[in-house]
Homo-oligomer: A and B are copies of this chain.
Amino acid sequence: MFFEGAEKKLEIIVGPTVANLRQQDISFWTALVRHANADILSSLKNDHCDAYLLSESSLFVWDDRILILTCGSSALINSARYFIENVTDIAFLSYQRKNEYHAQLQYSTFAEDIAQLRRLIPGKAFRVGHLDTHHQYFFCSEGDYRAQSQDNTVELLMYHIRGELAEYLNSEEQSQGEICARLKLDTLFPGFVFDVHLFEPYGFSMNGLWGKYYITLHITPQIGQIYACSYVSFETNLNLSRYPQAVLGYLLNLFSPVSWDLIGFNHSIEVQGAPEHLCLGRCSLMTEQGYDIYFGHYQQLQAEVLIPELM
């Protein structure tokens, strides 16, 4: 029953010699995600972006770039190799892994992944955060590419969710419609079109599109005795610091996680309305391509009463 929610993330921007990526046949994307041991469940398209909901998270395709997130024990590194080998003009590639609950169940380590990547494309890699708590691994390709000023993303990763919604997401009678209503998707993200999937017996995934903007939310809700490894991720390329809704604060109150991480790429991190918390660690660093990467690890400001887990 254990499912690893934490995603691996691959973003690739192609060079000018590559035709519009959205004209690639669906068989290419099916093969791409199969290399990571994932399948396409459904899709959503608008004039800017094709968004695929996967059995393990999400794939977004724009004219000149892709973003793919895969969770579980997926082998995203194999999708990266497949893409690089088939679409040879790569302007920029970034590959990211979060610390997993059960790293020993993964297909490969980050160190093994970047050894493979470096045979195909030069790049710098680093870890932010200590090994004994939340940490993130980043690989960024080297080269002449320069980040565009509007190219900003923010990731909110929530661990050990609690409260009413957490209980509901672990219940038998949950429904897709009710989850969407509780998430207030229409209020938080007016104008967006959504594609949602409720997994059996637990798990919820959502992609949303509005012009060139995406949101994606993935919930691994398992709480309780043995598999208390709940995880929720939210990510968007909206500039939330200029957005009318206090999205991050709303989600933090809704899921009430014990701890959370915020990661920004060229995105200032201001969280309004979050539960009272402490920043345990933070880091800002600038890549050669002009990406200002922020990582912060937060915890609610009260001692958690830990429940022993029988083994």
Contacts and interface: CB of A to CB of B under 8 A. Distances in A.
Contacts of A131: 101-102, 229
Candidate in A103, A126, A304 with the most chain B CB atoms within 10 angstroms:
A304
11 contacts: A99-B132, A104-B104, A124-B310, A127-B311, A128-B308, A128-B309, A130-B159, A278-B299, A280-B303, A280-B304, A281-B305
A259 interface: yes
Given A132-B259, A279-B303, 10 more contacts: A104-B104, A125-B311, A127-B311, A128-B308, A128-B309, A129-B306, A130-B160, A278-B299, A281-B306, A283-B305
Q: What is the predominant secondary structure among interface residues of chain A facing chain B?
A: mixed
A184 interface: no
A182 to B, nearest CB: 25
A253 interface: no
A131 B311 CA distance: 13
Contacts of A110: 311
A246 B137 CA distance: 40
Contacts of A104: 103-104, 109
A275 to B, nearest CB: 15
B259 A133 contact: yes
A310 B130 contact: no
A228 interface: yes
Contact of A308 (B258, B278, B283, B308): B283
A282 interface: yes
A194 interface: no
A41 interface: no
A126 B310 contact: yes
A75 interface: no
Candidate in A125, A137, A304, A306 with the most chain B CB atoms within 10 angstroms:
A306
Interface string A93-118: 00000010111100001110010000
B281 A278 contact: no
Interface in A131-152: 131-134, 137
